[in-house]
Amino acid sequence: MEKLNKILFVLSTFCLLFTGCDEGEITLTKNGKTNSRIVIPVNPTNVEKHAAEVLKDYIQKMSGAELKIVSDDQRVKRNDINIGKVNRPEISEIDFPKLEKDGYVIQTKSGRLTIAGGSEKGTLYGVYGFLEELGCRKYSSKVTKIPGTATISVENLDIESVPVFKFRDIYYRDAYVPAYMEWHGLDEHGEFVPIGTSDWGMWCHTTERLVPPKEYCGSNSEYFSMIEGERLCSADKHNLSDICFSNDEVFEIAAKNLKKAMDKRPEATYWSVSQMDNARYCRCPECEAQYERSGGPMGSILPFVNRMAKKFPDKTISTLSYWYSTRPPKNIKPEENVNILLCNIGSPRHIPIEEGDSAFCADLEGWGAIHDNILLWDYVIQFSHLIAPFPNLRTLQPNLQYLNKNGVVAMFEQANREIGGEFCELKAYLMAKLLWDPFQDIDPIIDDFVNGYYGAAGKYVRKYIDLMHDTMEQTGAKLSIFGRPWDNRNTFLTEEMIDEYYAVLDNAAEVVKDDPELLFRVKTVRMQIDYAVLDIAKKEVTGQRGALEKKGEKITPKPEIEKLLYEVTRICNLNGVTRVHEWNTTPNEYASEYHKFLLEQAKL
């Protein structure tokens, strides 16, 4: 009898290992209990260990069951969850090179679940992908959806997911919270993470650091831009000129200072050697001759950058192609370890780039013809009015699809560096999904978000979004990242349309009036319209939509405007909004300036 039992055990194990006798359903938890285990390699990587802990934590939060984490030197069991490159037959057919750094597979096979990924964080991203399959969501850094279910089972999973863009950076402050970045597979260029954790050693506008004006302005003005026959050199951050890229001494100084920075951050791969944020580029005879030969300022910048790339062959030297330097040069190709950080700052935002900016498209396609390492710097908000309506959701996907088709391998989406802003949670969430796969259907993503984030009010928030986008398209409205609500007072921000928006949002508020958190989120949406009304009223002053009204000889502030100003300021502060405009003006400062305007205009 003992011998028979041994034979049956061997046959059973053989069946599980090699034939998957009973594929069917894999039960991870049942009625709050579990016979499942999380299996990791005997010598797991930090990513594999962390992925296992994340999965254990969320399964327990969902079901109450606590899974054990064991190593792969233990006996194979049905319902096991394999994490990473375990010593199990299930991973033998996974094409790991195809997964690159961040891709992953989720498979049910032989009565077990396997989650494994690429060479860096793929396995961890696979765990989050699996949690989303179970209905979990992270809508923002503060709002996570975890379904409660005592029984968790899966079957017939065969998912392979590799991100389309290899670098995915979304410049919303909320999107830089580590737990949010991790869930959505996002990267970071170094501004909001601890020193030493980013792969970027320097990020854009770096010539001031490489050749400091404070050090060289007095003694070597020839190191800096010549404009109209004079060398311009200032250490004032608001009046900086650029370096002379054709000067050999400038190169040596820049290389020396770059080496010092690299020695402090040897683990960093990407180092920016980039122009400043202005158009004060050099017009000296040598630089001008290079521009003439190559067709523009990149004729001087790129040779400088190529020399730097040759000097540091184990690093990637990134350079901006921005403002005056977006045109690729003739007869000069970037070195293999050069990254071109191309910016589309001048593109319209109400229509796709391919449709609205032929000049930029020509530049992009020109770069794509000579190089395969292009990081695209995109812009997705209205800088001058961060909390105002900016209905550009329908351009995000076609833009990313076009960029991907034209050789862009990495994306930096510049949004709001401060807290708060117009639909910042929705836009960060949607862009995170699209940076992974820009070819998926976005309507279910938006619906999932608004219903999860706004609850019963979600259908009305979606109606508001669609109504504004439809109106913008029907009226031929234009969007600019440097625009303001006043610009669209006769298109999607007419009095009639604003009344319609308010009516929809009143319905949204009504259905969640007994839930303070959801009601506050609806009020945050309404704040966008309130702000638009204030901006139009300030510009119009005393007209039909003005901030003040005439009563005989008197000109007084309208009470409803003062009420809106109070409410916008209050909601901004409760949301933690720190800037109304990109670089300045807190909500309280905005209110103070508006009150000052009202008093100056009033004639009592």
Note the pLDDT tens digit of each residue in 101-114: 999 999 999 999 99
**What pTM was estimated for this model as a whole?**
0.93
What is the structure's pLDDT at 239? 83
Tokens of 178: 């580590």
First to last CA, the chain: 106
Structural contact between residues 542 and 561, judged by C-beta atoms closer than 8 angstroms? no
- Kindly report, residue by residue over 444-461, the tens digit of the pLDDT: 999 999 999 999 999 999
**The pLDDT of residue 4 is above 70:** no
Q: What angle do CA 226, 230, 236 make, to 5 degrees?
A: 75
What is the structure's pLDDT at 3? 39
Tokens of 274: 């980039």
What is the structure's pLDDT at 237? 80
Mean pLDDT throughout 213-234? 94
The number of C-alpha atoms within 13 Å of 393 and in the hemisphere containing its C-beta is 25
Tokens of 580: 């109304």
Characterize 20-45 residue by residue with b for buried, 16 or more Cβ atoms within 10 angstroms of its Cβ, and e for exposed: beeeeebbbbbeeebebbbbbbeebb
- Kindly report, residue by residue over 564-594, the tens digit of the pLDDT: 999 999 999 999 999 999 888 999 999 999 9
Mean pLDDT throughout 30-49? 97
φ/ψ (deg, to 5) at 41? -60, 155
What is the structure's pLDDT at 2? 40
Instruction: Quickly list DSSP for 563-592.
Output: HHHHHHHHHHHHHT---SSSSS--HHHHHH
Q: Say how far apart CA 190 and CA 182 lie, in whole Å.
A: 15
Q: Say how far apart CA 300 and CA 320 lie, in whole Å.
A: 13
| Range of weakest confidence among 3-7, 207-211, 466-470, 560-564 | 3-7
Structural contact between residues 26 and 153, judged by C-beta atoms closer than 8 angstroms? yes
**Phi and psi based region of residue 330 (left: phi greater than 0; alpha: psi -120 to 50; beta: remaining):** beta
Please report the beta strands in 76-186, taking only residues with DSSP state E, as ranges in sequence order.
Answer: 81-83, 104-109, 112-117, 137-138, 144-145, 152-154, 158-161, 167-171
Give Dmax (Cα) for the chain: 110
Structural contact between residues 567 and 538, judged by C-beta atoms closer than 8 angstroms? no
Give residues with Cβ within 8 angstroms of 346, minimum separation 6.
Answer: 357, 359, 360
Q: Say how far apart CA 101 and CA 436 lie, in whole Å.
A: 13
Mean pLDDT throughout 172-185? 95
* 3-state SS, residue 503: helix
Identical fold between 2-161 and 167-440: no
Q: Which residues pair with 30 in a beta bridge?
A: 33
Q: What is the rounded radius of gyration, in angstroms, for the C-alpha atoms of the chain? A: 28
Give residues with Cβ within 8 angstroms of 267, minimum separation 6.
Answer: 196
* 3-state SS, residue 475: helix
Tokens of 10: 């061997």
Q: Say how far apart CA 94 and CA 86 lie, in whole Å.
A: 12
**The pLDDT of residue 268 is above 90:** yes
User: Quick one: which of 455, 398, 394, 387 has its CA closest to 422?
Assistant: 387
Per-residue confidence band for 604, with pLDDT thresholds at 50, 70 and 90 = low
- Kindly report, residue by residue over 319-349, the tens digit of the pLDDT: 999 999 999 999 999 999 999 999 999 999 9
Per-residue confidence band for 23, with pLDDT thresholds at 50, 70 and 90 = low
Give residues with Cβ within 8 angstroms of 111, minimum separation 6.
Answer: 16, 20, 21, 22, 23, 24, 26, 78, 79
Q: Say how far apart CA 557 and CA 552 lie, in whole Å.
A: 14
Tokens of 535: 């901006």
What is the structure's pLDDT at 583? 84
| Range of weakest confidence among 54-58, 306-310, 581-585 | 581-585
Q: Say how far apart CA 162 and CA 551 lie, in whole Å.
A: 65
Q: Which amino acid is at 331?
A: N
**The pLDDT of residue 22 is above 70:** no
Domain boundaries, the chain: 2-161, 167-440, 455-601
Mean pLDDT throughout 426-435? 98
What is the structure's pLDDT at 369? 95
Q: How far is CA 73 from CA 76, 77, 321, 511, in A?
A: 9, 12, 52, 55
* 3-state SS, residue 45: coil
Residue ranges in 134-271 assigned as alpha helix (H): 178-184, 207-210, 213-216, 248-264
Per-residue confidence band for 18, with pLDDT thresholds at 50, 70 and 90 = very low
Per-residue confidence band for 14, with pLDDT thresholds at 50, 70 and 90 = very low
Instruction: Tokens 């997964």: give the residue.
Output: 99
Average pLDDT over the chain reads 94
Tokens of 453: 């984030």
Q: How far is CA 200 from CA 189, 261, 373, in A?
A: 6, 11, 15
Mean pLDDT throughout 155-174? 96
What is the structure's pLDDT at 7? 32
Tokens of 171: 């410049």
Structural contact between residues 216 and 244, judged by C-beta atoms closer than 8 angstroms? no
Helices and strands (H and E) in the chain: how many = 20, 20
Q: Say how far apart CA 41 and CA 345 lie, in whole Å.
A: 47
Q: Say how far apart CA 41 and CA 47 lie, in whole Å.
A: 11
Select 167-440's CATH number: 3.20.20, 2.60.40, 3.90.1580, 3.30.70: 3.20.20
- Other Cβ atoms closer than 10 A to 108: 20
**The pLDDT of residue 9 is above 90:** no
User: Quick one: which of 177, 166, 155 has its CA closest to 24?
Assistant: 155
Tokens of 389: 């309506």
What is the structure's pLDDT at 193? 76
> Counting every residue, how long is the chain?
604
What is the structure's pLDDT at 238? 77
Mean pLDDT throughout 379-406? 96
Q: Say how far apart CA 338 and CA 332 lie, in whole Å.
A: 13
Select 2-161's CATH number: 3.20.20.70, 3.30.379.10, 3.20.20.450, 3.40.47.10: 3.30.379.10
Q: Which amino acid is at 433?
A: K
**The pLDDT of residue 82 is above 70:** yes
What whole-number percentage of the chain has pLDDT above 90?
A: 91
